[in-house]
Amino acid sequence: MKKLTLTLAASAMMAMPFTASAKDSSDPIVIPIHNWSSQIVMSHAVGQIFESMGNAVEFVTTDSQAVYESVRMGDVALELEVWEGAFGASFRAALEKGGLHDVGDHNAVTREDWWYPMWTKDACPGLPSWEALNACADLFKTAETGDKGRYLDGPVDWLKHGKERVDALGMDFVVVNAGSAAALWAEIGAAEKDKRPVVVFNWTPNFAEAVWPGEFVEFPQWVDGCDKDPSVGPNPNALYDCGNPAKGYLKKAAWDGMKDKWPDAYSTLEKISFTNPQIAEMAKFVDIDEMEPEEAAAEWLANNESVWKAWTN
Ligand code: TMO
């Protein structure tokens, strides 16, 4: 009797490898959360997808650069939004050390850079060139920045190197770091009333493009090495004398151990791919509709079952 059971179990197992894979660990899959809305909502959406497959999930708020070290060490299992412009350097550094890998790109094109709402161009018609912006620096003067223009950069952990760029290109701007993404939207919103010229850090895909028509400032085109080799870019003696990539990637990354520990979840992660409009909508649910991230994620999943169900089998 015992022997028969074993034989049945063995034959059942032999029939399985190409259908259901090995069972995922019951340990929670730890997903890192950062400080911009699409990443937070996407992380909850993917967490809810994993839960629908029977996995346990935990969220932890982490620094958006240090997270690559956390993924590499297996302290968190994955990262869902590796933006080339902001995180390419930290991601590549962690890849070289080993312990994490590239799980493929979302079907999205990203850009992160200096940006202005369209009314700014009425006051400075030579835009979007950075030289024209610089010639209009007076328009952006504030009490805080004296005789220089004010550029509101992202929170420091996004490492946009705005100050280095201003120095490298000899611009008449002072770089101020926003305390949060919300401070960027508040700056644009406040300027909108009297159509005051402003230039702030922004990115796409994001909800903002549906609210405020605008453009990115065109800096010297990004070339590989601009952040590593001073001779690359127009200033032979400086790093960061280029814009960010204008057609950047958006990648997924995972801890090397994820595949063995949670093979079903890993196989879903491989298939996950969000588009620009889907990512912008996730941000909109929070930044315009004022939903909580968990709620926004649930709403997105409820509206898009045919998209994500296909990733789970
Ligand atoms: C990393 N971010 C999308 C905020 O530029």
pLDDT in tens, 171-199: 999 999 999 999 999 999 999 999 999 99
Q: Domain range spanning residue 84?
A: 2-18+27-109+248-312
104 lies in the same domain as 6: yes
- Single-letter amino acid code for the residue at 2: K
- Single-letter amino acid code for the residue at 118: M
Query: What per-residue confidence (pLDDT) applies to 159?
Result: 86
pTM reported for the whole predicted model: 0.90
172 lies in the same domain as 147: yes
* 112 touches ligand 1 (CB under 6 Å): yes
* 86 touches ligand 1 (CB under 6 Å): yes
2 CA distance to ligand 1 middle (Å): 59
283 CA distance to ligand 1 middle (Å): 12
184 Cβ contact partners less than 8 Å away, ≥ 6 residues apart: 152, 154, 178, 200, 201, 202
* 203 touches ligand 1 (CB under 6 Å): yes
Average pLDDT (16-41) is: 83
For residue 308, which of 102, 63, 49 has the smallest C-alpha distance?
Answer: 49
112 CA distance to ligand 1 middle (Å): 7
101: left (phi over 0), alpha (psi -120 to 50) or beta: beta
The domain boundary residue, chosen from 216, 234, 265: 216
Given a cut of 50, whether residue 166 has pLDDT beyond it is yes
7 lies in the same domain as 101: yes
Quick one: pLDDT band at residue 22, thresholds 50, 70, 90? low
What CATH number should be reported for the domain holding residue 266? 3.40.190.10
Residue 211 lies in a domain: yes
Query: What per-residue confidence (pLDDT) applies to 45?
Result: 98
List alpha helices for the chain, DSSP H: 2-15, 37-52, 67-73, 84-97, 119-123, 130-135, 162-169, 181-193, 208-211, 258-261, 263-271, 276-287, 293-303, 305-308
Domain count, the chain: 2
* 207 touches ligand 1 (CB under 6 Å): no
